[in-house]
Amino acid sequence: MERKLIILNLNGQGLEGSVQLFEADLLDPGSYDQAFSGCAGVIHAGAALGFNRETPQEVYDGCFTQNNTWLNRKKAGTVKRLVFTSSFAAVGHPREEGYVFSEKDWCGDNVEGYRGAWTEENISKNRDIAYAMAKANTEKMIYKAAEEDGSFEAVSINPLHVVGPLMMKIITIL
């Protein structure tokens, strides 16, 4: 509850715009309708994962299949920008020292040491592959949807690590 209040208290601080929080169920397509109504931007900040109990296929579905659900609901709304929280797992793979990664790099690329392993055929066999492929495939899906739809922009961030409790201390200082 404290986290919600910290975010909501940003309203009225002299900042442009306002913040509202909504709860939605990744498995229920209609649960996004109220949140997306009149909304200009959506920040996707989570996935249905936790405590390493999911099978590799559940990991993939939680990251890709369920994101397809809310993306389709977005198309019916007023959203102009979608910010997707992906992962470095979507783009990271071994490269020589000094290599500069770009938007052309994906985890499933044919890179020596990865060749043949990081493929959709192996999603059901390995959680790490399922997670990385789901994040990469979701990024590709939202970029394609934005390009084809033309009414919204899609961007993603690819954090290497997400650290929870420290973020609270940073937010409360603001």
CA distance readout (Å), 63 to 40, 95, 109: 23, 26, 19
Residue 173 scores a pLDDT above 80: no
Mean pLDDT of 31-48: 78
Domains defined for the chain, CATH in brackets: 40-173 (3.40.50.720)
Which candidate, 143, 139, 108, places its Cα nearest to that of 123?
Answer: 108
- Give the E-state strand segments of the chain in sequence order: 41-44, 81-85, 153-157
Please write the tens of the pLDDT for every residue from 149-170: 898 899 999 888 766 655 444 4
Mean pLDDT of 16-30: 77
Under DSSP, the state recorded for 29 is G
CA distance readout (Å), 140 to 21, 91, 112, 135: 27, 11, 22, 9
Averaged confidence pLDDT in the chain:
78
Please write the tens of the pLDDT for every residue from 97-140: 888 878 788 887 656 655 567 777 888 888 888 888 889 899 99
Which candidate, 59, 81, 63, places its Cα nearest to that of 26?
Answer: 63
Phi first, then psi: give them for residue 83, nearest 5 degrees. Answer: -110, 115
CA distance readout (Å), 112 to 33, 42, 87, 122, 160: 44, 37, 21, 17, 22
